[in-house]
Amino acid sequence: FVDAMREFRRCCPPLLKNREAVDRSGREAKHLYAFLDLPGLQRLIDPVLANHGVSYKWDGATTETSITTTCILSHVEGHSETSTFTCQATGTSIMSQPQKMASATTFGRRYSLTGVLGKSPENDTDARDLTPPDIPDHRTDAPQSQPRGDRATEQDCIELWEEWQQHNTRGDKP
């Protein structure tokens, strides 16, 4: 397990934030923070973990207002490690209680997974050097999502991963 995790950390591509949280409640949209979403994280780590015989799953517990999520990281030879994350399921005023719980679950999965891996996004700026993006006025009650054309495709990820591996194998710094 220790060897597999060492190799995972050596081979894992940089975990770069790929989404922005924006407050659209006022007249102008306000950038709050950037983050690496759970699907983006999984696209980066899953192939590397699988190559080293490592997998993960989640377990959880709920109360009326909070979610506790535990990520269980397991090696094919049987060893496992866990990381637990608890957060309140508060959400926004337009979210139903199940939506608040689902949001807290996703948040807990992301943080328990990065915790058990000992990894975090590498472009963490703590919002010190980020400026609000120029975003046109939108409805404040509609869910906001990144346009599909702005996201990396699976093929883009494969090509970037192959390029990163070539640099890593030669000893170049990416």
Of 15-19, 26-30, 61-65, 136-140, least confident by mean pLDDT is: 136-140
Distance of CA 37 to the CA centre of its chain: 4
Q: Is the pTM of this model over 0.85?
A: no
pLDDT-derived band at 123 (thresholds 50, 70, 90) equals low
Look at residue 7 and tell me whether its pLDDT is greater than 90: yes
In a 3-state reduction of DSSP, which class is residue 21?
strand
**Alpha carbon distance 47, 106 (integer Å):** 20
pLDDT-derived band at 65 (thresholds 50, 70, 90) equals confident
What average pLDDT score do residues 74-87 get? 96
pLDDT of amino acid 133:
47
pLDDT of amino acid 129:
46
Contact 53, 76 (CB under 8 A): yes
Q: pLDDT per residue over 28-42, tens digit each?
A: 888 888 899 999 999
Look at residue 139 and tell me whether its pLDDT is greater than 50: no
Higher pLDDT, 160 or 63: 63
Residue type at position 143: P
Number of residues that this document lists for the chain: 174
* Residue 119 Cα distances to 22, 41, 100, 169, angstroms: 25, 11, 26, 21
